[in-house]
Amino acid sequence: MTRIRGEEQAGFVEILHNWLPHQPWFPNPRGRIRLTRVGGLRLPTPAGDADTELFLEVHIFDVAQPGAAPDEEPARISVPVTLRSRPSAMAGKSAFIGKLTTEDEQELWVYDGAGDRAFLAAWVEMARRRQGSRNGRSRGEALAGFADWEPFDLKLKRQVFDSPLAHATRILLTPEGVEEGDWSHMVAVDIIRRPTDEQPETFETVKTLSAAHSAAVPRVLGTICGAWEDRELSSADFIQWQTGVLGVIREAAAEAPDARSVASSALKTGETFKATAGQLGRSLGTFHADLAGSFGSYPQSPQQLRTMAVNAQQALSEQWAQVREEFDEDEAADLTDTIELMSMQLREVEEPLLLQTIHGQLGPEHFHRISEHRWVIAETGGMVQHAPGLRDVVTVLMSLANMVMQEASQSKSATTGEPQRQAQTTDSAEAGAETPIFFGRWYEVLTDAFLDGYRASDADAAGVDSVFFRTAMLTEALDLFSQWDGRWVFRPSMLFQMES
């Protein structure tokens, strides 16, 4: 069978001109464009496809607009395609790009490779089998034991999702025989539509953790790299090639249930969240331990410790000044004593905390349950360098507190159990509702279990037992109090955390 190359067919670039401006990742949706092919690769066809004249290709183009400024660099795009001799259910109508006729009058049906099962199977297998091109400019890489997975074939199922990566198409692949919801045996495939020679820091972080066999993140299972010509540095006698990632295969965790949804469902029915909260805390601790092991950690300098103490004291004092008038006299007196004690402890603190890479803006929506006992943390939102781990703990717990307040404000049968304030309490007898939910107690049990789980991990837990953690929690709690117009979810034992 004669090998057909898409770029050699009359009309190939023209049908792409019509199709590309309608794609969300395309850089120039309006006006005239000029496509210059600068690279690409061709994949072996998987066995079992009924079309014996099937060709799988990836084309890399530089996209420019006529009349653009001379110093304006063209955008670069990656376009995976399948060339078929007839329409196919392997791709479907939504992936159809256009139809061509070859020199020998043969019809070619062109599909977007991201929607064609044959292309997706070959794409994933290139990484799993660590295949490379003869010229050495394209290669697949398998990580985290992906090479030992069962082969992917045409019988896989596919679903399109929004990718957390910029300018990428994400497809969730379910191999034959894998049940829906069995996230540990699915993969998420990101086809990079705007390739570069530099990768996002978050991707490199997770790839490093994956190579270190971390189970706390949705692991990178494989990558596919390709090459393209750098036309600015190339000449008639010499071609300068750039390489970059064209595809990423990961564990399908970002589409799995997230902790916020699970917690909200449990709270609505009054179910305990204790066991799950313990799992979440331990997962966060494992995440921090893996980050410290892969990227290092170091104790604060005396100056960093003093600066952190001053900043914590100032933030608490300013927040208290903003909300003090919203508390009654007795509550204000108790809180004033607590804040004065914390301020004294901050002035006297001597034990430095460990600084390391953390998430920084972590919330329960970043936790995903990939199996019964395994939660992973998605890196969406970025990483923070040289920060104490307690920051992640505080952001998760306060995000859950806000979720509890949202549910309490909507509930028809709510009580805090031993409330600081009664604003969110509803008389269940008058409402004719079911057994009231004790929101304050529910949140306190969750918090204790989460912290116990974190302490049981391999992470350094000194931060969550420090005055810095108690100060940060109280500062954020006072802000939450203000946001909810004086309603309060914290029980006294949670609020007045202090050492004798």
DSSP track, 150-161:
PPP-TT-EEEEE
CA atoms within 13 A on the CB side of 314: 6
Answer yes or no: is pLDDT of 454 > 60: yes
Together in a domain, 240 and 310: no
Q: How far apart are CA 33 and CA 17, in angstroms?
A: 8
Listed residue (317, 270, 469, 477) closest to 389, CA to CA: 469
79 touches 40 (CB < 8 A) = no
Report H helices in 270-361: 274-295, 302-323, 329-348
Among 251, 283, 299, identify where a domain stops. Answer: 251
Together in a domain, 208 and 69: yes
89-111 tens-digit pLDDT = 878 778 999 999 887 778 889 99
Q: How far apart are CA 80 and CA 259, in angstroms?
A: 35
What is the distance between the terminal CA atoms of the chain, rounded to a whole angstrom? 83
Together in a domain, 172 and 247: yes
Together in a domain, 158 and 270: no
383 touches 202 (CB < 8 A) = yes
Q: For residue 292, give both structure tokens.
A: 């410290």
255 touches 188 (CB < 8 A) = yes
In a domain, 266, yes or no: yes
Listed residue (446, 479, 94) closest to 273, CA to CA: 446
| Residue 176 burial class via C-beta count within 10 angstroms: exposed 0-12, middle 13-18, buried 19 and up | exposed
Answer yes or no: is pLDDT of 455 > 90: yes
Q: How far apart are CA 13 and CA 33, in angstroms?
A: 11
In a domain, 1, yes or no: no
Q: How far apart are CA 313 and CA 475, in angstroms?
A: 9
Together in a domain, 455 and 406: yes
Q: How far apart are CA 20 and CA 22, in angstroms?
A: 5
Tell me what pLDDT residue 2 has: 59
**Cα torsion for 462, 463, 468, 471, to the nearest 10°?**
-110
Helix, strand or coil for residue 233? coil
Q: How far apart are CA 169 and CA 247, in angstroms?
A: 10
Together in a domain, 300 and 235: no
Helix, strand or coil for residue 115? helix
In a domain, 428, yes or no: yes
Q: How far apart are CA 362 and CA 359, in angstroms?
A: 6
Together in a domain, 271 and 185: no
Among 251, 274, 292, identify where a domain stops. Answer: 251
CA atoms within 13 A on the CB side of 46: 22
Tell me what pLDDT residue 4 has: 67
pLDDT (average), residues 308-313 = 97
In a domain, 347, yes or no: yes
Answer yes or no: is pLDDT of 411 > 90: no
Answer yes or no: is pLDDT of 427 > 50: no
Q: Which CATH number covers residue 466? A: 3.90.1200
Together in a domain, 244 and 271: no
Tell me what pLDDT residue 372 has: 87
Provide the residue range defining the domain that includes 374. 259-495
Listed residue (142, 376, 149, 113) closest to 249, CA to CA: 142
Helix, strand or coil for residue 38? strand
Among 230, 251, 272, identify where a domain stops. Answer: 251
105 touches 126 (CB < 8 A) = no
In a domain, 351, yes or no: yes
Helix, strand or coil for residue 263? helix
In a domain, 500, yes or no: no
Together in a domain, 327 and 457: yes
Listed residue (15, 222, 16, 5) closest to 120, CA to CA: 222
pLDDT (average), residues 384-399 = 95
Tell me what pLDDT residue 355 has: 96
Helix, strand or coil for residue 224? strand
Q: For residue 5, give both structure tokens.
A: 């190359």
In a domain, 199, yes or no: yes
354-367 tens-digit pLDDT = 999 999 999 999 99
DSSP 402-428: HHHHHHHHH-SSEE-SS-S--TT---H
Together in a domain, 332 and 418: yes
In a domain, 429, yes or no: yes
179-236 tens-digit pLDDT = 888 898 999 999 999 999 888 889 999 999 999 999 999 999 999 999 999 887 777 7
Together in a domain, 76 and 131: yes
Together in a domain, 62 and 200: yes
312 touches 472 (CB < 8 A) = yes
Question: How many distinct structural domains can be found in the chain?
Answer: 2
pLDDT (average), residues 25-47 = 87
